[in-house]
Structure 1
Amino acid sequence: MDKKNNKNNNNFFDKNPLLLFIVFAVLIVIVFRSIAPNGINELNNLTSNKQVQVYTYSDIKNLAKEGKLAYVAIGQKIVRAKLKDGEVITVQKVPNDSTLVEILDKYKVPYGAINDNNWLSELIFGWIIPIFIFFAIWMFLASRMQKGMGGVLGIGSAKGLIKSEKPDVKFDDVAGNDEAKEEVKEIVDFLKNPDRYIDLGAKIPKGVLLVGPPGTGKTLLAKAVAGEADVPFFAVSGSSFIEMFVGVGAARVRDLFNQAKKEAPSIIFIDEIDAIGKSRAAGGPMGGNDEREQTLNQLLAEMDGFDSNEPVIVLAATNRPEVLDPALLRPGRFDRQVLVDKPDFKGRVEILKVHIKKIKAGKDVDLEEIARMTAGLAGADLANIVNEAALLAGRKNKKEVNQEDFVEAVERQIAGLEKKSRRLNDKDKKIVAYHESGHAVIAEVTEKARKVKKVSIVPRGLAALGYTLNMPEEDKYLMQKSELIAEVDTLLGGRAAEEVFLGEISTGAGNDLERATDIVRAMVSMYGMTDVAGLMVLEKQTNRFLGGFAQQREYSEKTQEEVDKFIKEFLENRYKHVKETLKKYSPVIEAMVKDLFEKEVIDGSRVRELIKAYEEGRLEEVINNSSNEKNNEAKEENNDEKNGNNS
C-alpha cells in the first residue's frame, strides 16, 4: 500500500514540477526565517529569559544615571545592556545619537561595541536563496525544453515529442485493402503470441514498409495492427527527426527505440519515411545533408540492433519508394513491402459502407452507383465524399442524406465547388455550351471512350466554366492504344466544337490540349505504341503513385525533333477526324446547346437519347416531345399557382 501511495505521489510531482519547486522554495524560506533574528535578541540572548517590563532607549540612559547598569554594548542599530541583577535588555538605537556615550562616561558605566550585522542571515537571504531560486527556475525551464523539444535548444530527446498510445482502430475499420490486411495479420499474431514463433525458430520481419498512393489508408492500417495486437503504438513523422543541429535526429531515433523497447511488445510507425530515408547516393560523391544522413545511419543501426525475436515491430509508410536508400530495404531491416493501392469497385463499396455508418443515409442511397462514379479515387477521397454529402444535406435542412447529395459531393470532389455567384454572360455561356457538347458527343460516339454521366455549364472550381463528367463502365488497370486515342479525341472535342459551330476558338481548351499532348507523348516515349522510337523508352516514369516523368533526356536532338513532329501531326490528324464527326452530328450538338441554355445541366442519358434519335431519323420528334412535356409542366405549375391564389 505504501509503495502504491509513493508511486502516485511521484507521478503527481512528475506531472507538476512547478508545484514541487514552489513547495520546496516555501519550505526553505520558512526554515531560514525561523532561525533568522527578528531583531537579534532571540539569537544572542545571554542567559535569562526573564523580562519584567519593556524598555526604551531613554530608559537605558536613566538606568545609567541610577547606577543600575553593569555593562552596555553599543551597535549600529541596537543597544544591549546588562543590569546588575543579571537581566539583559535590548533596545533599538536612535540614529546619530552621541549623548549615550557621554552619559556612560560621566557615570562610569563600562561599555563596548558589538557587531549587530547577522552575517549568516545576510548570506542565506542575500545570496544562497536567490541563487537557489535562479538555479531551480533554470532547471525547470531546461526540463520543459527537453520534454517539448528534445533537450535544451531542441537537442537530444524524443520524450514529450513521441508518446505511445493504444489505438482503438481494428481491421474491421479498414476496408478496401484485403490483401494488405492479410500481409500484416501475422505481425499481429506474433505480437500476441511471440513464443509460438520463437519455439519454431522462425524470425518475424523486423520492419514492414507500407507503400501506396496518398490517401489509401497506410496510417489507418498501421493503427489497426496496433489496435488488433493491443500493444503500445509510437507514431512519428519522418520530418520530426530533422532539425537545424547535426545529431538531433540521431538522438531522437535512439530515444524512440529505447522507449519502444521499454514498453515491448510495441509498434513503431514512421510516416513519410522518405523524409529521412532518401538514398545517400542522391547527394553525389560529396554526400548529401549531414543531419539527414546521420539520422538515417542511426535508424539503420537501431534496426540492426534488434534481437531477431524482440517483440518490437517497425512499420513505415511512403508514397515514394523509389527514393529510399537500398540499405533501408534490404532483408533484416524492412524485410517486407506491402502495397496499399487505390481500391477497386468492390473495395470502394466496402469503404463507403464503413463511412456511411456514421451518417443518417436515406433509403434511396445506392452505394454501387457511387462506387462506379468514383473510379480511381482513394479511401480518403471517399471518406471526404460521404462527409461532404452529409454537410450538403445539413445545409438543406434535411433529416437524412439522399442519393442526390452523394452525386453532388462526387461532382465537388472531381470538378470542384459549384460557383453559383459566377454567372456567365450569354456570349460565354454559348461558348461553354458548344465546348462541353463537343466533349460529350465525341465521348458517346467514339468506341472505347468513357461514357458521359453529366454535362454542365455551371462554373466549378477555380477555373472550370463548365464540365463533362465521364465515368468508366468498370475499373481499368491497363489501357490499350485505341482507348488512349479515344481519350485524345474526347479531349479535342471541345475546341473542335468551338471552331465548327462558332467559327472562332477560345482559351477554354488550354487544359484539354495539355492533357492530349501528354497522352500522345507517353504513347511515343514510354509505351512504344508508335514507329517513331519503336520499342525504345525515351522517358521513365519517376513515381507510379504520384505520376510525372524523368526530365533528363537520354536521346539525340534528331530523335527529339522526330518525336515533336509526330506528336504535332498525330494531334492534327485526330483534330480533323473530330471536326468531321461533329459536323456529322451537328443537329445533336444544337439540341444539346438548347437544353444547356435552358437547364444548365443535362444527364448522360439525355445525350444518348438525342444521339440515338438522330441516328434513327427521329430527332425532331424527340425534341418536340421534350418541348411539349416542358409546356405541360409549365401549365400545371401555373394552374397550381392560380388554385393557390383562389384559396
Structure 2
Amino acid sequence: MNNLGRNLALWVSIIVLLLLLVDVFQPGNTQHAAQQLAYSDFITDVDTGHVRSVVMQNQNISGTLTDGTAFETFAPQDPSLVSRLTGKGVEVVAKPLDQEGSPLLRYFLNALPIILMVGVWVFMMRQMQGGGGRAMGFGKSRAKMLTEKQGRVTFDDVAGIDEAKGELQEIVDFLKDPQKFTRLGGKIPKGVLLVGPPGTGKTLLARAIAGEANVPFFTISGSDFVEMFVGVGASRVRDMFEQGKKAAPCIIFIDEIDAVGRHRGAGLGGGNDEREQTLNQMLVEMDGFESNEGVILIAATNRPDVLDPALLRPGRFDRQVVVSNPDVAGREKILRVHMRKVPLASDVDPRIIARGTPGFSGADLANLVNEAALAAARLGKRTVSMREFEDAKDKVLMGAERRSLVMNDEEKKRTAYHEAGHAITAVLVPESEPIHKATIIPRGRALGMVMRLPEGDRLSMSKKNCIAHLVVAMGGRVAEEVVYGKDNICNGAMGDIQMATRVARSMVTEWGMSEKVGMIAYANDDQGGGGMFFGGAAKNFSEHTAKEIDSEIKRLIDEAYDQARTYLHDHVDELHRLAEALLEYETLSGEDIRQIMRGQPIERVETDESTPVNRRSSVPQVSGPEIGQQGDKPEGGEGSGMNPVPQLG
C-alpha cells in the first residue's frame, strides 16, 4: 500500500504540474493582465488616435493603446464602430466567439500531447529498471518467491520418502540455527541435487524444507535461464544469486537443471554458447558465496547422467539425494496424505490399494485419489468407496472404458480366446506373478487385458521370472492357433511379440542370462539398452556376435512358445471354458479364473443400476490390448515405470 500511495501521489503531482505549465504558457494568458476600459473612454481614445490595434470577438473588444497598454471593453450594437476604427488607422482583427466549455477540459486537451510524451518516457524508464519478463528486463532473474500466502508445505505433507527427508533435515536445522554447525567448523552443503523419476515429489520436498525452516523460497526452471540472446542467461544467474543474498536465509530451487547444466561441448555440432555461458556463470556464482550466508541452492533433475561434472564436484552440489518411487509402505503413507480431504467409505483400505499399485509414483497416487473422487461425484455419491479406487486404478493404468466401441461377435470371441490363453499360462507357469484379473472390455487403446500383480514390490527378476514372462506373452498367439489354426491368426499378438523381444534381448545383451553369449554387456548406454543396435549407431560387437545374439533371442522366444503350446494343448478344455466365461461376464478376477480352471462355477452378485451389467461388485474393472493389436502393451505396462509386471493383451 505504501508503494501504491507513493506512485499515485507522484502521478498526480506530474499531472498538476503539467496543467500549470500549459496554463502559464498558453497564448492569450496575457489578457488576464489587460486594463478594463469603459466604452466611452474607448471611443474617446479612438477619436484622439491613442488606439493602435483591436481584436473584435462579437461584442468583446480587446487591444493595445499606442503606449503599449493592453485593454478590454464591451461594445454595444454600434454599426459605425468598424468604419470609425478604420478611419483613424486602427488595425482591426475579427475573431469568432469561443465556444463555451470547461476551462479544465480545455487545459487538459492542450496538455494531452505533453502528458503522453512524459508517460511514455516514465514507462520506458520503469521497464529498464524492472524485473524479468518486461521489455527491457532481459537480464533480470525470473525466479518467483513463494511465501505462506501460496500455501505452506511441511514434512507432514511429504510421505513415502523418509530417507530423503532424513538427509535434508539437517538443511532445515542449519537454516534455523546456523551456529549449531559452524561452531564446530562444519559447513553445510552449498547445493543439494534431488535425483529421481518424474512425479516422485522433488519439488514438493524442496518446498517442505523452506516450509519447515520458515524461510523464503525462490523457484525457477532451468529453461528460464536460456534465451536467444547470448549473455542473458548469465545475467539472470547473477541477479538470482543477488536476490537470494538479500533475502537470506532462503532457499533457491532450480527445477529441471539439466536444461542448463548439460555437459559442455556435448551433442551434435558442439555446445550451445548461450547455455554454456549460463552454466559457467552458475559455476562461478556457486564458488563465490559461502554456505554461512544462508543461501541454500536445491536443484532437481531426472537425468543426472547428462549433467556437467564441474557442477557435481564438492563445493558446488555437494550432496545428491535420490528420491525414488515409494515402496508399499511409502505408497500407503502417500495415499493417506492425499485422502485427508476426501470423504472415504468404511470399506476403503489404503494398504490394499498400495499393494495393488507397485511402481506408482507420488504423482500417480495423487491422480489415483483424484480420479476416484471424480468417479464417485459422477455417480452422485457422498463418499468414495473401494470400488471407485479400483476403477480409478484401472483407468490410470490402462485408460477409460470404451463401451461405445462395437465389436462383432467374431472379434469379441477371438479376443476372449486370446486373453484366455494369457490367463491360463499365467496360472500354470510356477514362476509367474499371480494373475489379478482378465477382461475383454475395451479400455483406452486396448481391446482386452490380462493383468498380473506381484505379491510384493519386486526389485529384481530372476532368469525363471524372465522366461515366465516370455511364456505368458506367447500364450495369446498359441491360443489363437489352437482354436483357429496357424493360417487364421491375426495381428493381435504384435504387442506381445514386441514385449517378449525386449525381454529376451535384455536377457542376452544386458543381464548375462545366455550361456552361449556369456556375461558381456553388448548394449551401449547411449543406445537406450537392449534392442537398439540397428538404429544407425555404431555397434560395439562384430557381425558374428550379432548373429549369435539374434540366434539366442530367437531360441529363448521359440522355447517359450513351445512351452506355452504344451500348456494350452494339455488344458484345451479350460481354454474353452475360460473364453466362454469372458464372453459372458467380460471381466473375471484372478479367483474367478482359478475356479473356472478347476471346473467350479463362479458366483456373480447383482449390482445397482449405475454399475454395468455382468459386473461383480468386488471385482475391479480392467481393459487391455490395442485395437486391432490385442497384445499391444497399454500405458502403465512394462517400460512405463508404473508396473514392473508386463500387462498382456
1:423, distance to aligned residue in structure 2 (A): 2.5
- Counterpart in 2 of 1:28? 17
Residues 374 and 140 of structure 1: CA distance in aligned 2, closer, same or farther (over 3 Å)? same
Of 375, 385, 403, 2:368 maps to: 385
Structure 1 partner of 2:625: none
Letter in structure 2 aligned against 1:451: P
Q: Report the equivalent of 1:191.
A: 175
Match of 1:12 in 2: 4
The equivalent of 2:88 in structure 1 is: 104
What amino acid maps onto 1:580 in structure 2? T
SS in 2 for 1:90: strand
Q: 2:590 aligns with which of 604, 616, 628?
A: 604
**Aligned equivalent of 2:561:** 575
Aligned pairs for 1:91-130 (under 5 A) are 102-105=86-89, 130=113
One-letter identity of the residue aligned with 1:251: S
Counterpart in 2 of 1:557? 543
Determine if contact 2:403/2:442 at 8 Å carries over to the other structure.
Answer: yes
* Deviation readout 1:414-442 (Å, 9 max, x if unpaired): 11111111132111111111111111111
**Residue 212 (str. 1) matches residue 196 (str. 2):** yes
**Structure 2 letter corresponding to 1:528:** G
Q: Which residue of 323, 336, 345 corresponds with 1:362?
A: 345
Task: State the AA in 1 paired with 2:297.
Answer: V
| C-alpha spacing 1:134/1:163, structure 2 compared with 1 (3 Å) | farther
Larger gyration radius, structure 1 or structure 2: 1
The 5 Å alignment of 1:258-337 reads: 258-283=242-267, 287-337=270-320
Check whether the contact 1:523–1:530 (CA below 8 A) recurs between aligned residues: yes
How far apart, CA to CA, are the structure 2 residues paired with 1:547 and 1:308? 44
Residue 403 of structure 1 is matched in structure 2 by 386
Shift of 1:100: 6.9
What's the CA shift for 1:558?
Answer: 1.9
Q: 2:213 aligns with which of 189, 214, 229?
A: 229
Deviation at 1:396, TM superposition (A): 1.0
Equivalent residue in structure 1 for 2:458, among 476, 483, 504:
476
Q: Conserved in 1, the CA contact under 8 Å of 2:405 and 2:442? A: yes
Q: How many residues align?
A: 580
Q: Does the CA-based 8 Å contact 1:205-1:334 persist in structure 2?
A: yes
| CA-CA distance at 1:241 after TM superposition | 1.1
The equivalent residue for 2:420 is: 437
Match of 1:340 in 2: 323
Contact 2:19–2:111, Cα closer than 8 Å, also in 1: no
CA contact (8 A) 2:416 2:579 kept: yes
Quote the Cα distance in structure 2 between the aligned partners of 1:98 and 1:296.
86
CA 1:42/1:81 → structure 2, altered by over 3 Å: closer, same or farther?
A: closer
Distance across 1 between alignment mates of 2:417 and 2:307: 49
Describe the superposition over 1:323-361 as per-residue Cα deviations: whole angstroms up to 9, x where unpaired.
Answer: 000000000000000000000011111111111111011
Query: Which of the residues 490, 511, 531 maps onto 1:506?
Result: 490
Change beyond 3 A, Cα 1:224–1:308: closer
The residue number in structure 2 matching 1:616 is: none
1:140 and 1:88 map into 2 onto residues whose CA distance is 44
Residue 81, structure 1, aligned to residue 64, structure 2: yes
C-alpha separation between the residues in 2 aligned to 1:153 and 1:309? Answer: 34
The CA distance in 1 between the partners of 2:289 and 2:147, in whole Å, is 22
Instruction: Tell me the residue number matched to 1:456.
Output: 439
1:445-478 residue CA offsets vs partner (Å, 9 max, x unmatched) = 11121111111100011x2101111100111111
Query: What root-mean-square deviation, in Å, do the aligned CA atoms of Structure 1 and Structure 2 show?
Result: 3.3
Deviations 1:471-528 (A, max 9, x none): 0011111111111111111111111111112222212111111111001101111111
1:584: which partner in 2?
A: 570
- Unpaired runs of 5+ in structure 1? 1-7, 114-123, 614-618, 631-636, 638-647
Partner of 2:471: 489
* Offset at residue 198 of structure 1 (A): 1.7
Separation (CA, whole Å) in 2 of partners of 1:447 and 1:307:
59
Match of 2:102 in 1: none
Q: In the alignment, does 2:126 pair up with 1:134?
A: no
Distance in structure 1 (CA, Å) of the matches to 2:136 and 2:70: 60
Answer yes or no: is 1:173 the counterpart of 2:157.
Answer: yes
Greater RCO structure (CA 8 Å; 6+ sep): 2
Provide closer, same or farther for how the CA distance between residues 101 and 533 of structure 1 changes in structure 2, counting only shifts above 3 A: farther
TM-superposed deviation, 1:276? 0.4
Instruction: Please report how far the alpha carbon of residue 543 of structure 1 lies from its aligned counterpart in structure 2 after TM superposition.
Output: 10
Offset, 1:141: 5.2
Could you state the TM-score of these two structures normalised by the residue count of structure 1?
Answer: 0.82
Residues 23, 155 of structure 1: alpha-carbon distance in 2 compared, 3 angstrom cutoff: same
User: SS of 1:491's equivalent?
Assistant: helix
TM-score normalised by length of structure 2:
0.82
Gaps spanning 5+ residues in structure 2: where?
Answer: 76-80, 94-106, 607-612, 614-649
Residues in 1 aligned to 2:377 and 2:435: alpha-carbon distance in whole angstroms: 29
1:417 matches 2:406: no
Please say if residues 241 and 252 of structure 1, whose CA atoms lie closer than 8 Å, have aligned partners that are also in contact.
yes
Q: C-alpha deviations, 1:246-286, integer Å up to 9, x for none?
A: 111111111111111100000000001000010003147x7
Q: Does 1:241 align with 2:231?
A: no
Q: Residue 496 of structure 1 aligns to which amino acid in structure 2?
A: V
CA distance in 2, matches of 1:137, 1:353: 56
Amino acid at match of 2:371: E
1: CA distance, partners of 2:299 / 2:259: 11
Whether the 8 Å contact between 1:25 and 1:133 is mirrored in structure 2 is: no
Identical pairs, percent: 44
The structure in which a higher percent of residues are helix is 1
Q: Distance in 1 between matches of 2:396 and 2:531?
A: 22
Q: Is 2:502–2:530's contact at 8 Å kept on the other side of the alignment?
A: no
Q: Is the 8 A contact 2:506 2:531 kept in 1?
A: no
| CA offsets 1:1-52 (integer angstroms, 9 cap, x no match) | xxxxxxx53x1157xx6x567524421332124424573444654xx6xx36
Secondary structure of the corresponding residue to residue 277 of structure 1: coil
Q: 8 Å contact 2:86–2:92 — kept in the other structure?
A: no
Contact 1:146–1:156 (8 Å) recurs in 2: no
SS of 2:455 mapped into structure 1: coil
Deviation at 1:144, TM superposition (A): 4.8
Preserved CA contact (<8 Å) 2:421 2:568: yes
Shifted more, 222-231 versus 162-171: the winner is 162-171
